[in-house]
Amino acid sequence: MKQIGRYRLEEVQGFGAFATVWRGFDTELEIPVAIKILAENWAHHADVRERFLSEARLLRRIDNPRVIRVYDIGTHEDRPYFVMDFVPGGTVADRVKSALTVDDAMHLAINSARAVEVLHDAGVLHRDIKPSNLLVGNDERVLVADLGSAKRIAEASGVTVTTGTPAYMAPEQARGDTIDARSDVYSLGAVTYELVSGKQPFDVSDPGALLSRPVDSRPPKLDGAGLRPLDHLLASALATRPVDRPSSAAAFADALEQVAGGTKAKNVTRIRREVSPSLLITLAVLVFGASAAATWYVVR
């Protein structure tokens, strides 16, 4: 299979249990594209096939520059496929492997959270946020992709089927318990921690450890000057209990921006309303302490 209709298949960009993503070329529009094709061994499973097509419809419905765009769909040799914009900047996973400055890591983290915010505003949970599902455009804007595990927030109450990637999966999601936007926030916290430190926040080699994580557990502290406010924020985002996390991707992005650039007047009200009070108190104390220390130094 080297061509599907007008689309030439050039190179495999990624693959999973259910589908393969190719970098391709639209011979009529003469532009590069990404083509996702359902795996042959799943093509005759009606439920998998429908979930695959639902992903395409959902991506098409959420018309936003922070979400990968689908512009064609079809079937080739009884295997459904859909065609998306090709994003040339690679993925956040590629950036994790490089030596990022804290500023660059924070920029990617904030952009990732803003991309997931678009999904939450559309009433959708991603459920599999990880570095390889976050694409980076030429302008360094992050786009969210792969909604194969996505679920509408209104349908997420009650026991759910466990789906996701253990290193980035919230404990309640791993258990199949009720999930909401805070489960995606946990995943964003794990991505941010890895961007800044180069390491995943928790060892998930033992699946039982994720299922029975103590309430007071937290990842190893970030090692670096000036990282204490971020360390406290990520401890909150990666809290075992959803109630202890920022309530949405928007709240987490606001808090990241506050840590990265100081308190912004336009964000203060929103942060106070959506981020846990204990986290705000901690951030305020740290900012006040830093300001006091600077004043003492100047006077001295």
CA distances from 85 to 12, 71, 135, 183 (A): 15, 8, 11, 28
Cα separation, 278 vs 244, whole angstroms: 9
Contacts from 145-151 at CB under 8 Å and sequence distance 24+? 145/67, 145/68, 145/84, 145/87, 146/55, 147/55, 147/58, 147/59, 147/119, 148/16, 148/18, 148/19, 148/51, 148/52, 148/55, 150/55, 150/58, 150/119, 150/124, 150/125, 150/126, 151/124, 151/125, 151/127
Q: Tokens standing for 216?
A: 């007071």
Q: Which of 26, 85, 128, 184 is catalytic?
A: 128
**CA-closest candidate to residue 221, choices 213, 230, 212:** 230
Which helix (H) or strand (E) element contains residue 196?
Answer: helix 181-197
Is 146 known to be catalytic?
Answer: no
Q: Catalytic positions, please?
A: 128
